[in-house]
């Protein structure tokens, strides 16, 4: 693929990860066809317009909806790269997980990629997936040194870890559509998936837009000062995730899946890094809550089931990120990511500066 400028469609362009992708594309001089639910909603698109005004690239906004199969044809026209980032991220507050999460993720992917099949100019699709597509629970790592791109989540369902299930179902649908067109005489586009862990780092709008914000708010406000469960996450900076999308799009040799995790961190690790950066005046937790206590009270504190607790609390989590490093991703230290993110939390007034 030539290294000159491209026309790139980005779905869900107002999102946390997508904002950084659009920024890097525009700064590199590319033309971006950005799809959003409402191009006239200033809160969603003004930051993208400001970036475009200061960058050499060209931004074009389009209205599209994941469940409207025809809405992606117009923005797809003339594009040679598609970055599909749009997917629902809700962990609680719904009564029907299939309707809230799984159907929009799978049907949305199907609708976008069917539009890709109708676009003669498209050459590559980069899909924002997740490590949730690689594993469902920490206990899935039994017998492994670390999760790799060869692993697939087979333990999640609509009833257990429905968000994780929506991600693996959507990615499998993408590979199914890709393989079907690849086997035809009209093979045109190849597929790269980016599978990030828990994404931290500053948002281009405000801190509350990031999916990982809940943990930082709970720690900064003292909700977790009595202690945290022994839970580990694969963590990554949002800026690295965005850069990985560009590497996946423009490096000719990029192919397949890429796990994006800088390192595994526990909730206590996160608290310790924040305390080191911001001082003891904030009520960051200093101890682990014993698993029996988590088991007893966890289900009363949010969307946490005892099945999740039994399969995740107290178990290690490791990821092999060698493929993403070989692609060209350079990971910054987790402490730097958390410092930048919590600083934005303070700037935005979500936690009182002390």
Least confident of 83-87, 225-229, 259-263, 294-298: 294-298
In angstroms, the CA 157 to CA 97 distance is: 10
Distances (CA, A) of 347 to 4, 53, 208: 38, 24, 11
The C-alpha angle 12, 14, 16, rounded to 5 degrees, equals 95
Q: Which of 43, 49, 144, 167 is catalytic?
A: 167
* Average pLDDT score over the chain: 91
Contact 321, 263 (CB under 8 A): no
296 token code pair: 């007893």
294: Cβ–Cβ under 8 A, 6 or more apart, which residues? 229, 309, 313
Residue 162 in this model has a pLDDT that exceeds 80 = yes
12: Cβ–Cβ under 8 A, 6 or more apart, which residues? 18, 35, 36, 84, 85, 86, 87
Please give the residue that has the higher pLDDT: either 12 or 209: 12
Name the CA radius of gyration of the chain, rounded.
20
22: Cβ–Cβ under 8 A, 6 or more apart, which residues? 10, 13, 32, 34, 48, 51, 59
In angstroms, the CA 4 to CA 6 distance is: 7
Residue 326 in this model has a pLDDT that exceeds 70 = yes
Q: According to the model, what pLDDT value does residue 186 have? A: 56
Residue 219 in this model has a pLDDT that exceeds 60 = yes
Residue 91 in this model has a pLDDT that exceeds 60 = no
Q: According to the model, what pLDDT value does residue 182 have? A: 61
Instruction: Convert the pLDDT of each residue in 281-324 to its tens digit.
Output: 999 999 999 898 888 887 666 667 889 999 999 999 999 999 99
- Residue 117's CB is within 10 A of a number of other CB atoms, namely 17
Residue 167 known to be catalytic:
yes
In angstroms, the CA 51 to CA 55 distance is: 6
In angstroms, the CA 107 to CA 13 distance is: 18
Instruction: Convert the pLDDT of each residue in 225-239 to its tens digit.
Output: 999 999 999 999 999
Q: According to the model, what pLDDT value does residue 298 have? A: 72
Q: According to the model, what pLDDT value does residue 144 have? A: 95
Residue 90 in this model has a pLDDT that exceeds 60 = no
Q: How confident is the model at residue 212 (pLDDT cuts 50, 70, 90)?
A: confident
In angstroms, the CA 265 to CA 237 distance is: 13
Helix (H, G, I), strand (E, B) or coil at 168: helix
Q: According to the model, what pLDDT value does residue 2 have? A: 40
Average pLDDT over residues 149-178: 94
Q: What's phi and psi for 346, nearest 5 deg?
A: -70, -45
Q: How confident is the model at residue 98 (pLDDT cuts 50, 70, 90)?
A: confident
Residue 1 in this model has a pLDDT that exceeds 50 = no
Q: How confident is the model at residue 336 (pLDDT cuts 50, 70, 90)?
A: very high
Instruction: Convert the pLDDT of each residue in 33-72 to its tens digit.
Output: 999 999 999 888 999 999 999 999 999 999 998 888 899 9
What percent of the chain clears pLDDT 90, i.e. is strictly above it? 77
Please give the residue that has the higher pLDDT: either 37 or 329: 329
Instruction: Convert the pLDDT of each residue in 190-199 to its tens digit.
Output: 999 999 999 9
């Amino acid at each position: 693929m030539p290294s000159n400028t491209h026309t790139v469609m980005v779905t869900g362009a107002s999102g946390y990860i997508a904002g950084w992708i659009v920024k890097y594309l525009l700064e590199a001089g590319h033309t971006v066809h950005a799809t959003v639910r409402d191009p006239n909603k200033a809160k969603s698109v003004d930051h993208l317009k400001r970036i475009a005004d200061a960058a050499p690239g060209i931004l074009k906004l389009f209205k599209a909806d994941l469940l409207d199969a025809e809405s992606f044809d117009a923005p797809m026209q003339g594009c040679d790269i598609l970055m599909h980032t749009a997917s629902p991220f809700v962990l609680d507050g719904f009564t029907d997980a299939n309707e809230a999460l799984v159907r929009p993720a799978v049907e949305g992917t199907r609708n976008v990629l069917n539009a890709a099949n109708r676009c003669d100019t498209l050459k590559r699709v980069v899909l924002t997936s997740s490590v949730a597509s690689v594993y469902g629970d920490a206990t899935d790592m039994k017998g492994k040194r670390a999760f790799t791109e060869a692993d697939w989540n087979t333990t999640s369902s609509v009833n257990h870890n429905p968000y994780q299930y929506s991600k693996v179902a959507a990615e499998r649908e993408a590979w199914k559509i890709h393989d079907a067109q690849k086997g035809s005489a009209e093979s045109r586009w190849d597929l790269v998936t980016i599978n990030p862990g828990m994404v931290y780092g500053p948002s281009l709008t405000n801190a509350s837009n990031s999916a990982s914000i809940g943990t930082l708010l709970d720690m900064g406000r003292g909700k977790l000062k009595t202690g945290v469960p022994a839970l580990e996450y694969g963590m990554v900076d949002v800026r690295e995730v965005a850069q990985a999308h560009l590497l996946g799009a423009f490096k000719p040799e990029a192919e397949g899946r890429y796990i994006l995790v800088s390192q595994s961190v526990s909730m206590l690790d996160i608290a310790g890094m924040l305390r080191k950066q911001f001082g003891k005046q904030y009520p960051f937790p200093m101890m682990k809550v014993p698993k029996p206590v988590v088991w007893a009270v966890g289900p009363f504190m949010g969307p946490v089931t005892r099945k999740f607790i039994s399969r995740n609390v107290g178990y290690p989590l490791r990821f092999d990120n060698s493929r993403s490093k070989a692609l060209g991703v350079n990971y910054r230290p987790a402490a730097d990511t958390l410092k930048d993110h919590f600083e934005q939390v303070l700037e935005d007034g979500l936690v009182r500066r002390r």
